Structure 1
């Protein structure tokens, strides 16, 4: 498992990359760049505590225990 942090709109978020592939991180960063101007996503971003990458899916875990699944491939 690879543990790193990414910075997205003034927030540092820890990322656990279970795939051990750097390409998955690149895909996640591209997807986040696409969502950068999405207002609802930016509102929810404030509550994200952790991102896990498993296969082609990024799992955003929120402070209240809920999860958002985002396909990054």
Structure 2
């Protein structure tokens, strides 16, 4: 099973697009672009190990097993 990779800053994180829709990927890209100046998001991004993308939300999985849900609609 191959996954996409999303680039933000200097990190590349595997992305599993569960929605199978290209517009959800573009909405996530736009949302990340909006959060590029958010210091709290940049701190969280350092520890993201995997992203699941659904139709209206992105689930960021951290190295310790916790999750963070981001609304992308």
Q: CA RMSD in A?
A: 1.4
Question: Deviating runs (4+, > 4 A) in structure 1?
Answer: none
- Unaligned segments of structure 2, at least 5 residues: none
CA displacement 1:8-64 (0-9 Å, x = unmatched): 000001100011101000000000001111001101101000110122110000001
| Count of equivalent residues | 73
| TM-score normalised per structure 1 | 0.93
Unaligned 5+ residue runs, structure 1? none
Q: Secondary structure at the match of 2:24?
A: helix
Give the TM-score normalised by the residue count of structure 2.
Answer: 0.93
